[in-house]
Amino acid sequence: MKQTDQDKQQLRKEIVSHFETVAPQYDTYKARADYYYDQLKGLLAELIPDVDTRNVLEIGCGTGALLASLNPGRGLGVDISDTMIALARKQWSDLTHIEFVTGEAESMTINEIWDTLIMVDVLEHLYDLETALRNLCRQLKSGKRMILIWANPLWRPILHALEHLRMKMPEGPHRWEPISRVITLMETSGMLIEQRGTRCLIPARIPVLWRVNRHYFKIPGLKKLGLIQYLTAIKTGDSPQS
């Protein structure tokens, strides 16, 4: 069913409220899932060439740890939650080359274009996916890269169970978008899909078994099963204006 503008604005309010609520415990949740976040940092380091860390824009930056881990020449973290941004500014106040501002993918306007744009575990929380992707593509330099990372829908039952058991951060309002739709929207926004895949088949430090994460994605029968799915795309030219 097609969303109305009223539906989108109601969803936006619910998303803002959720992340304002979880923000004070956000870093505690991350510490409990440190192996997962280490996997995310490793994947970003793998996907982003050194030359493209000159300036990096992160959408949905939370308290800023992923952006800081990339050590960009210039970094900008954007989050819909004022509290998240306040915490990020305090935590990384010594990193003068990174700035944090409140904003949202669907409507933000930044008078700057970027070498790399990353969005991690945010895509499912956007209240208007089509508008957001079209807007974000405008923030990139031609020939530069956008990286989208989000949870593999195959893991939905496990993630819901962990959340019910209070073993992971509550997700709040979210939708499980099929990757086929994300690809279509990226392509119509002026992006060329570069690569896609998964990582983190074993999302815990289990002796011996965690080593599977280094190799499983090279095996045809297993490569689609990782918890973390990613998509990278290159901006081919001017993004559509409407």
Q: CA-based diameter of the chain, in Å? A: 51
Answer whether residue 242 shows pLDDT above 60: no
Q: How confident is the model at residue 240 (pLDDT cuts 50, 70, 90)?
A: low
State residue 239's pLDDT score: 53
Percent of the chain topping pLDDT 90: 84
Taking the C-alpha atoms of residue 229 and residue 233, their distance in angstroms, rounded to an integer, is 14
State residue 127's pLDDT score: 96
Taking the C-alpha atoms of residue 152 and residue 172, their distance in angstroms, rounded to an integer, is 17
Dihedral sign, Cα of residue 204, residue 206, residue 212, residue 214: positive
Q: Are strands 228-235 and 140-151 parallel, antiparallel or unpaired?
A: antiparallel
DSSP label at residue 177: -
* Bigger pLDDT: 177 vs 95: 95
Q: Are strands 191-199 and 55-59 parallel, antiparallel or unpaired?
A: unpaired
38-93 pLDDT, tens digit per residue, is: 999 999 999 998 877 889 999 999 999 999 999 999 999 999 999 999 999 999 99
CATH 3.40.30.10 assigned to domain 5-235? The reply is: no
CB atoms within 10 A of CB 85: 23
State residue 166's pLDDT score: 87
DSSP label at residue 238: P
Contact partners, residue 15, CB within 8 Å, separation at least 6? 80, 125, 127, 172, 173
Dihedral sign, Cα of residue 43, residue 227, residue 12, residue 19: negative
168-218 pLDDT, tens digit per residue, is: 999 999 888 889 999 999 999 999 999 999 999 999 888 888 889 999 999
Q: State the residue for tokens 């990372």.
A: 149
pTM, two decimals, is 0.94
One-letter identity of residue 4: T
Residue 15 to residues 60, 180, 193, 228, Cα–Cα distance (Å)? 12, 24, 28, 22
